[in-house]
Amino acid sequence: MKLIGIVGTNADKSTNRTLLQYMQEHFADQAKIEICEVKDIPVFNKPSERVAPEQIRQLTDKITAADGVIISTPEYDHTIPAPLSNLLEWLAYTTQPLQNKPVMITGASYGVLGTSRAQTHLRQILNAPELKALVLPGKEYLLGHSLQAFNDKNVLVDTDKAQELDEYFANFVDFINKVKG
């Protein structure tokens, strides 16, 4: 199984990137997860020709070839970060590779609540007609206190949260297989 993991922030240091890196290694026997960044994507400017810039075309090709997408988002001011919103605007307006693509949402946050509000907002955005992603229903993975969640080798040390992630990922794999028929 081939998956794309999108780091939902352009911050140099992000526990959402760490979470995706952990998943990439931890689930390597079940899926190949390629991590993609939202860094260096130009600001969305609603081009009249609806032509995507090269960075968007490259990411579109990866999403199209993948079985599913994992988006790991922090929460800034109760919503997703602007760089992630920027990426989704480009994808919705130009190439639309998320249409009918299975998507799993995760989120890591320094605070206690994880990224519950951002994930809810992201689900709403991904439901837009131009995006129309198939978001794994009924599941959330909220990693609070994320600065303390990983050891120096980027291993998730909270066994309950690690087990919860294992179950969530298994649900996502099942979801992908059901969508594929």
Q: pLDDT (tens digit, 9 = 90+) per residue, 95-147?
A: 999 999 999 999 999 988 889 999 999 999 999 999 999 999 988 999 999 99
Provide, rounded to the nearest whole percent, the portion of the chain with pLDDT above 70. 100
CA angle 119, 69, 122 (to 5 degrees): 20
Among 106, 81, 137, 112, residue whose Cα is nearest residue 22: 106
Domain edges within the chain: 2-180
Q: pLDDT (tens digit, 9 = 90+) per residue, 74-92?
A: 999 999 999 999 999 999 9
d(CA 133, CA 175): 13
Position 113 scores a pLDDT of 81
CB atoms closer than 10 angstroms to residue 81:
22
Q: Note the CATH architecture for domain 2-180.
A: 3-Layer(aba) Sandwich (3.40)
